[in-house]
A = this chain, B = another copy of it.
Amino acid sequence: MTILIKNISLKNRIVDILIEGNIFKEIGDNINIKADKIIDGTNKAIIQPFYNMHTHSAMTLLRGYGDDMRLFQWLSEYIWPQEAKLTSEDIYNGTRLAILEMIRSGTVFFLDMYWYHKEIIRAAQDMKIRANIGISFIEERGKKEVEESIEFINQFEQSSELINISVAPHAIYTVGKDLYQELHKISKAKNLKFHTHLSETLKEVKDCKKANNGLTPVEFLNSIGVLDNNTIAAHCVHLTEKDAEILGSKGVTIVHNPCSNMKLASGFFNVPLIHKYDCRVCLGTDGVSSNNNLSMMEEMKFAALLAKVAYNDTSLLSANEIFAWATKYGAEAMNINSGKIKEGKLADCLIVDLNNERLIPNHNLISNWVYSADSRCIETVICNGDILMENRVIPNEDEIISKAKHFIR
């Protein structure tokens, strides 16, 4: 399959772009090749899509189910009882709803962490999106589940370049030292990413210090040898200078989830500190229950504006920097050869309507994209050379909506 995009704006230059198979084959001034599909790029821009680096996609089914409550009441009275009732079919339908929402808002990859991983993989495969499915571990769910999940990881063979798995111990308060170390070994042996929650709340930090001779969660995981450049740590809201130094020097990928950290009142992500220690940072939406959507567009604006007000610095976390966190740094962290519109890169891109009022005037597209746009600006989404949404149409949308709509308990 070849796609030729004619006369499209790429970084303020009008170009033609040829996609051959799953790569950007040629970007030039006037490409005249017979392609299977031709897209007219007049009054449109091409831009790299989002890589959502931390979510729990099937939780879309719990959108708006209990909000504005104290954390423990919300979890114990609302979220956990509902989660306990979810069937594998619910997970499949919820994940497809999540993917639909992600495609509409320009996301072509998500790093997931939830249960019923087989259903999540099936949903991602059916919708042709890139995904890495974290195989989750919480010890109190029982030995049997832990063993089955380890077995699943050991048996897993990647069958598509789009879908992979990662090893995902939930957090230090749900997974003990021994299992963390065992899972880290497995991730090394299978060459899989190691994905965990880390330093999300003050309570986590306090409890950890109490239980581990004053070690912070970062220090604790470092002391047991599981932090390295394969590790993806979600949240990292409460970091000491020493924590940031460890995360920076070990090359850990930090995932910032501003909406969730704000909605759950977890705290302010320390942007000056992660700058100081040159930490690798990406962006994620977290699950819908604490957001309540999967829009990386909103997430960029929240991240940038929160940093400015929290640290009293209007120049902190510029549009260009947060755009990089949301796009190419995610692809880089996952070793996906994409995140840039460049010859030889995997063909992941968005086609954006430059006549949408949110992008007018076009003094600076990235500024408009980060601070002004919403999902209405996106016309077409291409992932790995496949068109996932064309002129705002996603195949099977009605069926996905209709299945998910009836999840009301």
Contacts and interface: CB of A to CB of B under 8 A. Distances in A.
A197 interface: no
23 contacts: A60-B360, A64-B363, A64-B365, A64-B368, A64-B371, A67-B318, A67-B364, A69-B314, A69-B315, A97-B357, A262-B306, A263-B308, A263-B314, A265-B308, A265-B313, A291-B371, A292-B372, A293-B358, A295-B374, A298-B374, A355-B401, A357-B400, A362-B408
A152 interface: no
A205 to B, nearest CB: 14
A267 interface: yes
Among A71, A268, A371, residue most surrounded by chain B Cβ atoms (within 10 Å): A371
A268 B309 contact: yes
Interface in A228-260: 259
Interface of A: 60-65, 67-71, 74, 97, 100-101, 104, 259, 261-268, 288, 291-293, 295, 298, 301-302, 304-306, 308-309, 311-319, 355, 357-358, 360-365, 367-368, 371-372, 374-376, 398, 400-401, 404-408
A32 to B, nearest CB: 29
A305 B361 contact: no
A405 B69 contact: no
What are the nearest 5 A-B pairs in CB distance? A64-B367, A262-B305, A292-B371, A68-B318, A262-B309
B67 A319 contact: yes
Among A291, A314, A407, A408, residue most surrounded by chain B Cβ atoms (within 10 Å): A314
A146 B125 CA distance: 66
How many copies are assembled?
2
B408 A101 contact: no
Among A292, A364, A404, residue most surrounded by chain B Cβ atoms (within 10 Å): A292
A297 to B, nearest CB: 8
Nearest to A292: B371
A266 B309 contact: yes
Contacts of A265: 308-309, 311-314
Contacts of A293: 358, 371-372, 374
Among A61, A67, A306, A398, residue most surrounded by chain B Cβ atoms (within 10 Å): A67
Contact of A367 (B67, B309, B360, B361): B67
A266 B375 CA distance: 28
A357 to B, nearest CB: 5
Given A97-B360, A100-B357, A355-B405, 8 more contacts: A63-B367, A63-B372, A64-B361, A74-B314, A263-B309, A265-B309, A291-B372, A293-B371
A315 B70 contact: yes
Among A357, A361, A364, A376, residue most surrounded by chain B Cβ atoms (within 10 Å): A357
A309 B374 contact: no
A259 B376 CA distance: 20
A291 B301 CA distance: 10
A89 B284 CA distance: 43
A319 B68 contact: yes
